Amino acid sequence: MIQQTETAKRQILRLLEYYLDIDRERAAELLIDAVRAAYRRIEASPDAGRRAPTPYPDIAHWHYLWIKEHCYWFGYTVTNPPIVTNIVYDRSDMPGQIVDLDDVVPSDW
Single-letter residue type at 109: W
| Per-chain mean pLDDT for the chain | 86
Task: For residue 72, give every residue at least 6 positions away whose Cβ sits within 8 Å of its Cβ, in sequence order, or none.
Answer: 31, 34, 35, 38, 87, 88, 89, 90
CATH numbers and ranges of domains, the chain: 3-91 (3.30.2310.20)
Share of the chain above pLDDT 70, in %: 84
Task: For residue 105, give every residue at least 6 positions away whose Cβ sits within 8 Å of its Cβ, in sequence order, or none.
Answer: 5, 6
pLDDT: which is higher, 44 or 101: 44
For 50-81, what is each residue's pLDDT tens digit?
998 877 888 888 888 999 999 999 999 988 89
Quickly state the pLDDT bin for 101 (edges 50, 70, 90).
low
Q: Is pLDDT above 60 for 107?
A: no
Single-letter residue type at 102: D
> pTM, whole model, 2 decimals?
0.86
Sign of the CA dihedral 78, 102, 66, 42? positive
Quickly state the pLDDT bin for 106 (edges 50, 70, 90).
low
Where on the phi/psi map is residue 104: left (φ > 0), alpha (ψ -120 to 50), or beta? beta
72: three-class secondary structure by DSSP:
strand
Distance, in Å, from the CA atom of 103 to the CA atom of 7, rounded to the nearest integer, reads 9
